[in-house]
Amino acid sequence: MVKTSEKSLSIFNTPQDKLSLKMTFKKEKEFLKKFSLFEMLLIITIISIHLYAAFSDAFNLPNFWFIRDDAYYYFKVAQNITLGLGSSFDGINLSNGYHPLWMLVCIPIFYLARFDLILPLRVLLIVIGMLNAATAVLIYRIVSSTLSRSVGMLAASFWAFNFYIHSVVYEPGLESPLAAFAVALSIWKLSQFENNWRTKKVTPRQIMVLAAISVVVMFSRLDLIFLAFMSGIWIIFRGKAIRFLLPLDAVIIFSAMTGSAVLRTGLASYNNFYAATATEIVFLALIIKVISLYFFGTYQHPRENSVWITIRKTILAMSVSTVLIAAIYLLLIQFGLDRNFPRTAFAIDWASSTFLILALRLAARFAWIGSDKIKINTQIIAPLADLQMNWKKWFTEGFAYYGILGGALGLYMLFNKIMFGTSSPVSGQIKRWWGTMETIYERPALTWQAFYGFDYKEAFNAWQPASNMFLWFAKYLKPMVPGSNTIDERYYIAMLLFVLLAILLLAFNTRYAMQKITKMALIPLAAGCGFQILSYSTTAYGGAKEWYWISQMVLITLVGSLLINLIIWPLQKIKIARITFELASIAVAVFMAYEFGSYVKNTMLYNIYPKDRPYFEVVQFLQENTPPGSVIGMTGGGAVGYFLPDRTIVNMDGLINSNEYFHALQDKTAPEFLRQSGMWIILANIQLLDLPPYYGQFRPYLAKFGVFGGKSLVYLLDYPK
């Protein structure tokens, strides 16, 4: 193909043209060389499947692919931005209830909605396929460069073709494809950085590039800021034990303090009354405890001290920090600042956090950061001396990294404050408000399992698709734990068995495993995952969704790859075994691709649905029962708002409405607010509007005149009846 193309150079008349085209061909060849044969085949397969889906019957796209109503919040806002109506779902109220980077992706795509409403969905589906392919390739590169090519092929195929990952990450049309790509890109760059800093001097440009990638991670999903923050610790404190210990310490401090409050008050009371204060105290605890742990010398290499010295230092650090935190809390109360927090929780926190942080140091001493080259009491550097030696480098690099990350976040918040009247997305504020009441929407974490992200029944099941594997294995435990009401027991026994197996694999290969864990940056990734889960469960967040847990899916994929590699790596040195593993991985990849492709083919059908078939019956109902130009309220309304012509849908739950409407909803003046905005019709379940968070405030203003599918079509009156 290249030779044929070079023959065509004769059509160019000047040497400059020939040279330019030759350089173009050279760059194309160099670009293609960056991709292995497996990567090329993987990309072609993924894109082909998505292209097949994208050009299927128009009816398929809103009914079998982009089926989440929340996705249409993005689509309609992006369309309105291109029409000059601003960042607004209804064209009336400005809203920031979305993650910014995905909106930037959607805006040029939904410019096409002025020509055809289905066309941008087709284009977006192809873009999603490209993001899927890019993420799968990054996972392949992370795993194959760190572990082995055979395991890398398994990991990439698992990510690309797993049905759960597809249904949660790539099918809804939300920000999750971009978030997954950003997380994988961040881990890939951290993996490369791990190789480079050991042999070459780290330049300011490298730090700034890594910070810029973390900004992309943060804006792909704002709750990924925790991963971005932990990545900075991993980068800046390289070569020190603190880079391993501090991220995990932070998760322990966060979980212990809030868990102690929950243990003292109960989850229901915690969500309703204590969550806000507990979050404030957690920030205080993180600062004081980390400083105390540092200056008491617990961030020295675990083998630099004897076991008893390590225990003594840890207990002293935690005791002093607990006394300081409790004293500051009591001082705030004396100054008249109302803080609702159970005082006995401080004692519970001291016991639990001391035990866990000490256990982490002992584990690091004997396994994960072990080194026979370090002798006890021979290489100790005092914390203050260590700080004096390194503070300039830490400060300079920290200022560069966190300056870029914090500066980007600060500008985003300032823009939101000026533009929307609130510095953070109103959707998150509303969901945390929901968590303080028994709302008709999703509840906050109500069990200990949900609180820590392990409840397979709830939206706080943060560890899919591993949870499905535990459920599958739990079926085989039924003879040991019989009964239809013991599914929970079997599930957690299965989880425990898998965790024990993982610990055994790591324990028998500690040095090798630690090298791979470090290379794949699993510690900052795991700490970021833990913080993200706790950021929802500890703040009484009512309405977590399965697509929030993107970084957890990446972590599961990488950890699963490591465990598989630990099983087979002793045989990798044997050529015939290595070839056999690679052939087996290719066979598995082909099988998974075939199964996934068959699923898409059987779902996204061709020439089945009439072109004039309505995408949604509710759209047809509203067209027939409301006049053009109507402003109609719905408690959701994403898809209807996008597909309903000549009418405006106003979101009544507030997730994609204005900050002013949120406060009107809280003040029980929402009917007057919406009526002043020009809304005069509502399609909703009237009984639903009688419950929290609406509290019946709409009831006096409603006059019923139609019914659709259990919902009432009502007038919103100017004055209460």
Residue pLDDT, tens place only, 530-556: 999 999 999 999 888 999 999 999 999
Burial classification of residue 616, based on how many CB atoms lie within 10 Å of its CB (0-12 exposed, 13-18 middle, 19 or more buried): middle
Q: Please state the three-class secondary structure of 453-465 as a single string.
A: CECCCCCCECCCC
Tell me how many degrees the CA angle 521-540-103 measures, rounded to the nearest 5: 60
Token pair 């979305």 is found at 98
pLDDT of residue 340: 80
Tell me how many degrees the CA angle 596-598-603 measures, rounded to the nearest 5: 100
User: Is residue 213 over pLDDT 50?
Assistant: yes
| DSSP annotation string for 426-447 | HHHHHHHHHTTTT-SS-----S
Instruction: Report the DSSP pairing between strands 631-634 and 681-684.
Output: parallel
Q: Measured between alpha carbons, how far is residue 689 from residues 676, 680, 684, 707 in Å? A: 19, 16, 8, 15
pLDDT of residue 5: 39
- Judge whether 151 and 585 are in contact, CB under 8 Å: yes
Token pair 């090298």 is found at 515
- Judge whether 270 and 261 are in contact, CB under 8 Å: yes
Instruction: Report the DSSP pairing between strands 648-651 and 702-708.
Output: unpaired
Residue 678 pLDDT level (bands cut at 50, 70, 90): very high
User: What's the order of all strands across the beta sheet hosting 648-651?
Assistant: 648-651, 631-634, 681-684, 711-716, 702-708
Q: Dihedral through CA 251, CA 531, CA 194, CA 304, nearest 10?
A: -10
pLDDT of residue 386: 86
User: Is residue 245 over pLDDT 80?
Assistant: yes
pLDDT digits (tens, 9 = 90+) for 424-457: 999 999 999 998 888 888 889 889 999 999 988 7
- Rounded to an integer, what distance in angstroms lies between the CA atom of residue 437 and that of residue 692? 7
Burial classification of residue 491, based on how many CB atoms lie within 10 Å of its CB (0-12 exposed, 13-18 middle, 19 or more buried): buried
Most trustworthy range by pLDDT among 349-353, 495-499, 612-616: 349-353
User: Is residue 3 over pLDDT 90?
Assistant: no
Mean pLDDT value of segment 363-375: 60
Mean pLDDT value of segment 505-513: 87
Token pair 């042999």 is found at 199
Token pair 């500066």 is found at 407
- Judge whether 188 and 138 are in contact, CB under 8 Å: yes
Q: Check: pTM over 0.85? Answer yes or no.
A: yes
- Rounded to an integer, what distance in angstroms lies between the CA atom of residue 433 and that of residue 662? 10
Residue 379 pLDDT level (bands cut at 50, 70, 90): low
pLDDT of residue 580: 92
pLDDT digits (tens, 9 = 90+) for 170-205: 999 999 999 999 999 999 999 999 989 988 899 999
pLDDT digits (tens, 9 = 90+) for 578-606: 899 999 999 999 999 999 999 999 999 99
Checking phi first, is residue 173 left (phi over 0); if not, alpha (psi -120 to 50) or beta?
Answer: left
Q: Which residues of 709-721 are buried (b: 16+ CB within 10 A; e: fewer)?
A: eebbbbebeeeee
- Rounded to an integer, what distance in angstroms lies between the CA atom of residue 159 and that of residue 370? 33
Name residue 530's amino acid.
Answer: G
Residue 23 pLDDT level (bands cut at 50, 70, 90): low
Check residues 484 and 111 and name the one with the higher pLDDT: 111
Tally the C-alpha atoms within 13 A of residue 541's C-alpha that lie toward its C-beta. Answer: 23
Residue 338 pLDDT level (bands cut at 50, 70, 90): low
pLDDT digits (tens, 9 = 90+) for 250-284: 999 999 999 999 999 999 999 988 998 899 899 99
Residue 478 pLDDT level (bands cut at 50, 70, 90): confident
CA 506 from centroid of its chain's CA atoms:
27
- Judge whether 250 and 290 are in contact, CB under 8 Å: yes
Helices assigned H by DSSP within 198-306 = 204-220, 225-236, 242-265, 267-269, 275-295
Percent of the chain with pLDDT strictly greater than 70: 93
User: Is residue 490 over pLDDT 90?
Assistant: no
What residues contact residue 31 under an 8 Å CB cut-off, 6+ apart?
none
Structure token pair of residue 680: 């005069």
pLDDT of residue 376: 47
pLDDT digits (tens, 9 = 90+) for 287-305: 999 999 999 999 988 777 7
Helix (H, G, I), strand (E, B) or coil at 703: strand
pLDDT of residue 431: 93
Mean pLDDT value of segment 507-528: 92
pLDDT of residue 367: 62
In angstroms, what is the C-alpha Rg of the chain? Answer: 28
Percent of the chain with pLDDT strictly greater than 90: 72
User: Is residue 380 over pLDDT 80?
Assistant: no
Q: Measured between alpha carbons, how far is residue 86 from residues 78, 82, 420, 422, 657 in Å? A: 9, 8, 11, 16, 13
User: Is residue 396 over pLDDT 80?
Assistant: yes
- Rounded to an integer, what distance in angstroms lies between the CA atom of residue 595 and that of residue 253? 44
Mean pLDDT value of segment 101-112: 97
User: Is residue 663 over pLDDT 50?
Assistant: yes
pLDDT of residue 374: 45
pLDDT of residue 149: 94
Peptide bond into 693 cis (omega under 30): yes
- Rounded to an integer, what distance in angstroms lies between the CA atom of residue 364 and that of residue 341? 33
Name residue 302's amino acid.
Answer: P
Of the given ranges (76-85, 237-246, 504-513, 626-635), which has the lowest mean pLDDT?
504-513
User: Is residue 2 over pLDDT 50?
Assistant: no
What residues contact residue 372 under an 8 Å CB cut-off, 6+ apart?
none
- Rounded to an integer, what distance in angstroms lies between the CA atom of residue 597 and that of residue 606? 15
Backbone angles phi, psi at 391, to 5 degrees: -65, -35
Count CB atoms within 10 A of the CB of residue 12: 13
Mean pLDDT value of segment 678-706: 92
pLDDT of residue 481: 80
Mean pLDDT value of segment 615-635: 94
pLDDT of residue 32: 46
User: Is residue 345 over pLDDT 60?
Assistant: yes
- Rounded to an integer, what distance in angstroms lies between the CA atom of residue 653 and that of residue 700? 18
Q: Measured between alpha carbons, how far is residue 405 from residues 205, 207, 422, 593 in Å? A: 14, 11, 20, 38
pLDDT of residue 397: 94
pLDDT of residue 370: 44
Token pair 């670009």 is found at 31
Token pair 């397969």 is found at 45
pLDDT of residue 368: 52
Residue 573 pLDDT level (bands cut at 50, 70, 90): confident
pLDDT of residue 574: 87
Which of 153, 87, 285, 193 has the alpha carbon at shortest distance from 591? Answer: 153
